[in-house]
Every structure is written in C-alpha cells, then in structure tokens.
A and B are shown apart, each in its own frame.
Chain A
Amino acid sequence: MKLRTRIFMLGLWATLLAAPVLARPAVEAGGFSLMRGIGVAACVLGIAGILIVRYLGERGRLPRGTYNMLLLLVLLVLPSVALVATTQTVFVGMKAPTACASCHVMEPYLEDMQDPASASLSAAHFRNGWIPRDQCYSCHVTYGATGSLEGKRDGARHWILYVTGTHADPIRYTGSYPNINCLGCHDGTPGFSRVLSHQAINEHLRSDEMSCVSCHGPPHPRGEAGHLNQ
C-alpha cells in the first residue's frame, strides 16, 4: 500500500473512531445535528491531518506533489468544511430558547415565558402558541446572526460582561427595541388594523417614534429577576 493511501486511511479511521466519541455529549443533550457531526469530523481530521502532513512533509517523506495536495486538503478544504458546518450549527442552534438560557442570567426570563400564570407579553405569546418555536429569536431578531450591527455590538458587549462577571444583577435592558420586531408579525393583520389607536399612530410606530411596549407589556419580568414586578 502506498504511503499516500496509508495516510488517507489513517485519517479516515481516526475520524470514524473519534467523531462519534466526541459528538456523544451533544447526542445525549439532544442537540445533535448532521452539520454538527460533520463539523466535529472535519475538525478532528483537520487537526490530525495538519500534524501528520507537516511532520512527514518536513522530513521529506512525502513526494512534493502529494505534500502540496495534502496541504490543500488540511489547510483549506477541511477548515472550510468545519467553518461552514459551525456557521450552520450556530444559525440553527442559536434560535432555540435553550441557547439563550445557557447564560444563567437569562433563565428567569425563560421560566417566566413558560409560566402559565405569568402576565408578561412573552408568556402570553408562548401560552397561546402565537410563536410556536424559536420564541426568543422571533422577537429579538436584531440580536441574532442576521440582526443589525447594533444587535451585534450589544451581543458582543453582553458576552464580555457575562464572561467577566461584570454585569449588574438582575440585568436590565438598556438598548433600543425596534418596532419592526413586533410589526413584522402584527402589522396588516385584521386584529391590529381594527384598533383605532393603531391607525392613528401607525406612522409613529413605523418610524420608532413610539414604542409598542409603551402601551403593551411588560414583555418580560421587571425588577427582581424571576418575579414579575409591574
């Protein structure tokens, strides 16, 4: 068997053996997806491949053409596969409320949303099935992967505050909340249009001069985290 074939076979077996073991916690957590598995496999194969190819290449044990082709594979193809798979995993996974609740400061807000007795807007939307899934993401689209630059900036700032433990507890929302997050679903519906005050202030709502939550809300618990304090 040629050396090139041996290296490919070694990489293949390493990936086949390592990927299920490494992906096991994700499977047990119920968060496994095909792209996530592909991402893990690409990472394992990429890391092992770079180490093996560089080691053999530096010692002249690989023909130059083979070395160049293997470098292309381990330094361009596999990392690109890993990046695409990771991006896909993030795009899908971050929409789930559990992704938001992975930071413990958000847990009270998720619990409130799922509380049948809560009077908050988020709980009403959840309880009545107005947003059947991806409940956090649906109302906070400026905060997600496809959100605005302001949302990105706030997201990075919130992450830094959280991991450094320098955030105030309970947390308070200080950013702007564009009405398009509400109007995206409500605008133009019969229920929205038949309310006279909506017709009167429609332009103000569209231009964010007035906020929807000025009249409706609160969207989440206020005051002490976990306890609705109106």
Chain B
Amino acid sequence: MNDSDLHFSKWVNRVISLASIMVVAGLICVMIFLIKGFGAVSMGLGMFIGMPVVGAGVLLYLAAVVQDLRRRGAL
C-alpha cells in the first residue's frame, strides 16, 4: 500500500475543509435558532441561512467521499 492510498488527494482535502467550515457555521446558526426559539431574526438565521448552509456542507462532504472512492477504484 503506497502513501497516496492512505491520504486524501489535495482536492478532496480542500473540499472536506470547506465542508467542515460550512457545517460548523450552519450548525451555529441552527443552534441559535433552537436556543432562542421563534423570532424574526433567529428563525431567519436558522431556517434561511443555517439549514441550507449545513445541507450544502453535507453534500460537499458526500461529493468528496464519492470522489475519493472513485480515485481508489471502489466505485
């Protein structure tokens, strides 16, 4: 097993980093809404910003996983 089999490619690493940042930012927004409850600002922050950002982060992570599996010939 060579070194490249053990590590993610640069592209995958960057995408996972971006996904991590997006999920953390989105979860913070969602958490503010869950703690503060229904209010114009907290609801908008959680529903219109937080949830789409978390969703996009999760999709980015899945794209990185698929790309990594393809690179390794598993898909």
Shortest Cβ distance from residue A91 to the other chain B in the assembled complex, whole angstroms: 11
Q: Is the CB of A43 within 8 A of B31?
A: yes
Asked if A102 meets B40 with Cβ closer than 8 Å, knowing A25-B35, A40-B31, the reply is yes
Q: Is the CB of B34 within 8 A of A46?
A: no
Q: Is the CB of A26 within 8 A of B37?
A: yes
- Proximity bits, A198-216, B CB within 8 Å = 1, else 0: 0000000000000000000
Query: Number of residues in A with C-beta < 8 Å to the partner?
Result: 41
Q: Is the CB of B58 within 8 A of A156?
A: no
Write out the residue numbers on chain B whose beta carbons fall within 8 Å of the beta carbon of A156.
48
Q: Is the CB of B51 within 8 A of A86?
A: yes
Q: How far is the CA of A43 from the CA of B40 in the complex (A)?
A: 21
Write out the residue numbers on chain B whose beta carbons fall within 8 Å of the beta carbon of A131.
none
The verdict on A185 contacting chain B, using a C-beta distance below 8 Å, is: no
The verdict on A39 contacting chain B, using a C-beta distance below 8 Å, is: yes
Q: Among A50, A64, A75, A87, which residue has the most Cβ atoms of chain B within 10 A?
A: A75
Q: Is the CB of B35 within 8 A of A22?
A: yes
The chain B residue sitting closest to A160, CB to CB, is B44
Chain A interface SS verdict (over half): helix
Number of A-B residue pairs having CB atoms within 8 Å of each other in the complex: 102
The verdict on A10 contacting chain B, using a C-beta distance below 8 Å, is: no
Residue from A39, A46, A163 in contact with B23 in the complex, judged by beta carbons closer than 8 Å: A46
Write out the residue numbers on chain B whose beta carbons fall within 8 Å of the beta carbon of A40.
31, 34-35
The verdict on B73 contacting chain A, using a C-beta distance below 8 Å, is: no
Shortest Cβ distance from residue A62 to the other chain B in the assembled complex, whole angstroms: 12
Q: How far is the CA of A89 from the CA of B35 in the complex (A)?
A: 11
- Proximity bits, A55-81, B CB within 8 Å = 1, else 0: 000000000100000010011100110
Q: How far is the CA of A98 from the CA of B19 in the complex (A)?
A: 35
Shortest Cβ distance from residue B39 to the other chain A in the assembled complex, whole angstroms: 5
Asked if A89 meets B20 with Cβ closer than 8 Å, knowing A64-B6, A159-B44, the reply is no
The chain B residue sitting closest to A57, CB to CB, is B16
Shortest Cβ distance from residue B59 to the other chain A in the assembled complex, whole angstroms: 10
Residue from A44, A79, A90 in contact with B54 in the complex, judged by beta carbons closer than 8 Å: A79
List B residues at the A interface (Cβ < 8 Å): 6-7, 16-17, 19-20, 23-24, 26-28, 30-31, 33-41, 43-44, 46-48, 50-51, 54-55, 57-58, 61-62
